[in-house]
Amino acid sequence: MWSPAAARTWPELIGSTDPSAEMIDTTRGRVIRSASMGVFPASVGTTEVLGSHLGHWIRSLVVVVVLGLIAQGVRPALGANFGSAGTPGTGGTTNGVWLTPNATWTVAEVGLVARFEAGLDATLTVDYVPTDLFVVENWNVPSCTGSSGYDLCVFDNNYGDNGVYGWNVCAGFVNGTHPTQVCTMDWVRFNLFFPTNNNQKRTLACHEVGHSVGLRHPDDGTNTTSCMNYDWSNLSLTGHDKSHINATY
């Protein structure tokens, strides 16, 4: 969650109430676009796979190994600024952090305004594609429900003077217990009531999206240059953040 109230530097407290396919490149970090890739209905708009096929198979193998360890009760080590927290539900502005089900991470942009769409695209490509997540981005999605198959749905709207710029909630089902609880579908909401410039939209997107894959606030005073910290000037994840993601997915 990101609130304008506390110092206006960007506070956000966990638990606060307040067919024609155009292949551009298959190397990691580039994109493959198509109107429909056979995974989602064509009506949802454009699908963009951010990452390579080779990387996908490698990461899939890693996922199998990690899931096997999890089944045996072994999980990657969690740091103080990583791991799930919060109560599921979409009411109010209660913020939370959850793990996503697996490394194939499907993100839906539900009618975002142009600048928030650009900010989300930028952070997914620059910050999350270089991790072990296999990012599939879906544009112009008309709606997002539990049956739509998305791991993360991103909305923007004028939610009024509710005290927050953006927040993340678990709109799906949860499995397990904190700090390794998995949510089957996260919702990130950006509040258009509060004006933000393009860089702030990028930072806000990086931050709220991070909560949907297990990144918390680095409240211990470390990792100060991360977008997960309380500073509008931090546009991106750090290597520390990415190491947490890679150890989990």
pLDDT tens, residue by residue, 154-210: 999 999 999 999 999 999 999 999 999 999 999 999 999 999 999 999 999 999 999
* pLDDT at position 149: 93
Residue 219 belongs to some domain of the structure:
yes
- Distance between CA atoms of 99 and 105, rounded to whole angstroms? 11
- Distance between CA atoms of 210 and 228, rounded to whole angstroms? 7
Residue 241 belongs to some domain of the structure:
yes
Q: What is the DSSP letter of 12?
A: -
| Domains: count for the chain | 1
* pLDDT at position 11: 32
Domain coverage including residue 86: 22-248
**162-178: buried (b, 16+ CB within 10 Å) or exposed (e) per residue?**
bbbbbbbbbbbebeeee
**Banded model confidence at residue 89, pLDDT cuts 50, 70, 90:** very high
> Average pLDDT, stretch 217-245?
93
> Average pLDDT, stretch 34-39?
29
- Distance between CA atoms of 144 and 212, rounded to whole angstroms? 16
* pLDDT at position 2: 59
* pLDDT higher at 74 or 105: 105
Residue 9 belongs to some domain of the structure:
no
**CATH code assigned at 104:** 3.40.390.10
Residue 126 belongs to some domain of the structure:
yes
- pTM for this prediction: 0.75
> Average pLDDT, stretch 36-56?
44
Share of the chain above pLDDT 90, in %: 61
